[in-house]
Amino acid sequence: MTEQLLHLTEEPLWEAARRAGTYEMSTRGRTLREEGFIHCSLPHQLPAVARALYGSEDDGLVVLVIDTGRLPALVRYEAMEPGGEEFPHIHGPLPASAVVEVRRWAGPLTAGEGEAG
């Protein structure tokens, strides 16, 4: 397997995408079409992303573990501002077949033993 990326989402959104075969949400409340890419994280980035997007509302969230070797779309590491931390972005739809694991998100202290992915 190649590099793994993580994406935090609401379980019903993932379940609908799994049935459809393609996931097309970018981030909370924004679609791939609206944003132009799907926001992802590396394991060390996920706790801060979860806090920023969901705060303490972590019920019903899942972490999609994505195998970049199964992606037809380009992955770019981009910063929100010049010199800022770079985050991985998938520039196209996420095939459900590229998601190799789905983990329940239980917050940064319990998801993956202190590592959220």
pLDDT tens digits for the chain (117 residues)? 467 899 999 999 999 999 999 999 999 999 999 999 999 999 999 999 988 888 877 778 999 999 999 999 999 999 989 999 999 999 999 999 999 999 999 876 444 433 333
DSSP letter string, 57-104: --TTEEEEEEEGGG-SSEEEEEESSTTSPEEEEEES-EEGGGEEEEEE
Structural domains present in the chain:
4-104 (3.20.170.20)
Kindly list the strands in the beta sheet with 74-79, ordered across the sheet, starting from the edge strand earlier in the chain.
Answer: 38-39, 86-91, 74-79
